[in-house]
Structure 1
Amino acid sequence: MSLAKLAPSPQAIAELRSFSRQLVRELGYLRSPVAGSELPPSTVHAILEIGMQPGIQARDLAQTLRLDKSNTSRQLAKLESLGLVRRQALDSDGRSTALFLTDEGLSLFAQAEAFGTQQVAKVLGQLDEVDQQALGRYLSLYAQALAQDNPHTLPPQLAVDRLVEGYRPGCLGEIAGFFAPDLQSGGFAAERAMTEELTGFLAGLPRADAKLWLYHQDGHTLGSIALEAGPAPRQATLRWFGVKNTERGTGMGRQLLESALAHADLVFDAVWCSVPAATPGGVRAARLLAAHGFHPHGTVTVQRWGQSRVAQRWCRKRA
């Protein structure tokens, strides 16, 4: 049973406004430069978003940053002049371009990520696990509420009929390509381990305790999510979840996740997911998971595809 929403009291509004101002101050967003760079906060924010979504287009960057087209164009022009961002044509006439960080931009991105990770780690280190989970939940609720009435948060409409269930020829190689950048340190052994895991899962389909969804367009797989029963009765685990770099920011990941969760709500009481901690991909995944009712459940060291890494555990319980 859901609780009725009450009109906020003047005191609650004043307290939350005060908290918001303090949060901005403490995070250093009023200082310029920020994150140990020589750039203003808005520029560093743009660097972070492009770094977390390689291949993002200018219109999607504007949506993410809550900026209009002209402000975004000026921001990008400045980043290009500084040698931090490059454009890559997406079609033959060059009308659509994808944004990528240059080597210098990637260096700044890593510096800003380390700065932000250190800030958050310092805060979480002062809290016990229960308070860490509560903090994540309530900040997520606050962010979602702020975003609801913001027109910039509405993603482009995707074709529902391109979301298909089950294996399609060619999907194995394209799904593997989503995760290839994460395997560079592991070399061939890591790539082989990943391919073997994907092949084993796909070879077992269809089966009652596992599902695969693809975003399939013109014979190509642009995104995928896989769900499997376990680790406990009436629980499930997201085996993998990824989209092609050029499709990030389009709402495709959201649509895939919502399809998997709609099925999970019919069959399971809880869904678990582990995402790499303090990496661009992990940050993107964490944002999306938090926006769909997942809550953090601590970190674990996992062995996957021949590599050891620290992962954040997330869980979503059926309402």
Structure 2
Amino acid sequence: MDYDGLQLPAREQTIRQLRELSRKLVRELGFMRSTLAGSDMAPSAVHAIIEIGLNPGIQARDLGELLCLDKSNTSRQVAKLEALGLVRRAPLEADGRAFSLSLTETGQALRKKIDRFATDQVSAALRRIMPEDQQGLLRALALYSQALSRDNPNLAAPQGPAPAALTTGYQPGCIGDIAGLHARYYAGTSGFGVFFEHKVASELGAFAQSLPAAGKQLWTHVEQGRTLASIVIDGDPASGVAHLRWFIVDDSLRGSGVGRHLLDQAMAFVDAHGFECYLWTFKGLEAARHLYLAAGFALAEEAPGDQWGSRVVEQRYVRAARAVPLGEPADGSD
């Protein structure tokens, strides 16, 4: 039911007072500070820890709904908590691409500290309120919370900004970051270990030393000095063939459009050089496969292999050379 039609005389005053009280609650509870609840964590991180602790095994999408966060922001939050050793992810048997979330021992200890702080804060406030008023307060807050959740504009699908500008060429630290991204991702999806990480780091290091070079380029997405996504085109102008390599996107950026932006830039570079392009990947990586197919690649061959440390089905995708439209830059630059 919508009570707007009652038009009580004091409605404007009620709205103003509720807004003032809401702002005061936000300040008194500490949400204006950079950290919350006696921890060194941001308010959004504290709420994520609380909800994961209350719902062990929760999936990221459900956590996002609870916190009113979009997919990208939820992924970033989970990745940060995982990097701090507070949250662990485990693949779901029913869906290899989905993960359940739970708190580590360190995360559980922090949650207990947060709970103690919040309980003490609320308890101290309630001691100043008569018992009969406490129950009225609970009912009023419950009604207000439910009313706010109806048609909440904060839950509307956000209009995300355009993907951030990419960096080209070698950047200090990028080799270790990219190797780490590969190691963590493929350890979870394919069971690869130290052999694979060493291979990525050594071959990527050799490639980076060759830059700048005709037909070769490295693109990265960097945030706060860390490489969170990458793609490489290793082309040979003499043969007219290019190898797409080291295409990886951190979990915190999945769904943000960064992967597609990287692939678009790489394909513009390939087309500007008139290269045929190929890549190697593994069967079962559906998100990447859809991107490759959309970019014009087609599956050319597949076969089982165990050269990476565990047995997988390797796939080779090929994209035919395309003519460069007149007026486009010859070097594939923007």
Q: Is there any run of 5+ residues in structure 2 with no aligned partner, and where?
A: 1-50, 80-87, 99-155, 323-334
Confirm or deny that 1:293 pairs with 2:296. Answer: yes
Counterpart Cα distance in 1 of 2:298 and 2:158: 23
Counterpart Cα distance in 1 of 2:207 and 2:62: 35
- Judged with a 3 Å threshold, the aligned counterparts in structure 2 of structure 1 residues 215 and 293 are, in CA distance, closer, same or farther, namely same
Alignment of 1:126-275 (within 5 A): 156-160=160-164, 162-181=165-184, 182-183=186-187, 185-229=191-235, 233-275=239-281
- Judged with a 3 Å threshold, the aligned counterparts in structure 2 of structure 1 residues 308 and 213 are, in CA distance, closer, same or farther, namely same
Q: CA deviation at 1:89?
A: 8.6
Q: Give per-residue Cα distances to partners, 1:32-75, cap 9 Å, x unaligned.
A: xxxxxxxxxxxxxxxxxxxxxxxxxxxxxxxxxxxxxxxxxxxx
Could you tell me which residue of structure 1 aligns to residue 92 of structure 2? 106
Aligned length: 195
Q: Which amino acid is 2:317 matched to? A: W
Alignment of 1:87-98 (within 5 A): 96-98=73-75
CA contact (8 A) 1:215 1:221 kept: yes
Q: Give per-residue Cα distances to partners, 1:111-143, cap 9 Å, x unaligned.
A: 99xxxxxxxxxxxxxxxxxxxxxxxxxxxxxxx
Q: Is there any run of 5+ residues in structure 1 with no aligned partner, and where?
A: 1-76, 113-151
Counterpart Cα distance in 1 of 2:238 and 2:305: 18
Confirm or deny that 1:85 pairs with 2:59. Answer: yes
Counterpart Cα distance in 1 of 2:245 and 2:255: 22
CA contact (8 A) 2:167 2:219 kept: yes
Counterpart Cα distance in 2 of 1:89 and 1:108: 19
- Judged with a 3 Å threshold, the aligned counterparts in structure 2 of structure 1 residues 218 and 317 are, in CA distance, closer, same or farther, namely same
Alignment of 1:34-113 (within 5 A): 83=57, 85-86=59-60, 96-98=73-75, 103=90, 106-110=92-96
For the aligned residue pairs, the C-alpha RMSD in angstroms reads 3.9
Q: CA deviation at 1:175?
A: 0.7
The DSSP-based 3-state class of the residue aligned with 1:201 is helix
Counterpart Cα distance in 1 of 2:209 and 2:197: 18
Q: Give per-residue Cα distances to partners, 1:227-285, cap 9 Å, x unaligned.
A: 1125981111102201111101110011101111111101133111121112xxx2111
- Judged with a 3 Å threshold, the aligned counterparts in structure 2 of structure 1 residues 302 and 178 are, in CA distance, closer, same or farther, namely same
Counterpart Cα distance in 2 of 1:287 and 1:169: 31
Q: CA deviation at 1:287?
A: 0.4
Q: Which amino acid is 1:157 matched to? A: P
CA contact (8 A) 2:183 2:193 kept: no
Alignment of 1:20-31 (within 5 A): none
Q: CA deviation at 1:186?
A: 4.0
Q: Which amino acid is 2:59 matched to? A: V
Q: CA deviation at 1:165?
A: 1.0
Report the TM-score, using the length of structure 2 for normalisation: 0.49
- Judged with a 3 Å threshold, the aligned counterparts in structure 2 of structure 1 residues 82 and 215 are, in CA distance, closer, same or farther, namely closer
CA contact (8 A) 2:60 2:74 kept: no
Counterpart Cα distance in 1 of 2:266 and 2:97: 35
The DSSP-based 3-state class of the residue aligned with 1:177 is helix
CA contact (8 A) 1:270 1:318 kept: yes
Counterpart Cα distance in 1 of 2:96 and 2:289: 18
Larger radius of gyration: 2
Structure number with the bigger relative contact order (C-alpha 8 A, sep ≥ 6) is 1
CA contact (8 A) 2:280 2:315 kept: yes
Q: Which amino acid is 1:200 matched to? A: A
CA contact (8 A) 2:217 2:232 kept: yes
CA contact (8 A) 1:191 1:305 kept: no
- Judged with a 3 Å threshold, the aligned counterparts in structure 2 of structure 1 residues 269 and 153 are, in CA distance, closer, same or farther, namely farther
Counterpart Cα distance in 1 of 2:240 and 2:159: 32
Could you tell me which residue of structure 2 aligns to residue 12 of structure 1? none
CA contact (8 A) 2:163 2:256 kept: no
The DSSP-based 3-state class of the residue aligned with 2:172 is coil
Could you tell me which residue of structure 1 aligns to residue 125 of structure 2? none
Report the TM-score, using the length of structure 1 for normalisation: 0.52
Q: Which of 287, 299, 312 is 1:284 aligned to?
A: 287
- Judged with a 3 Å threshold, the aligned counterparts in structure 2 of structure 1 residues 310 and 153 are, in CA distance, closer, same or farther, namely farther
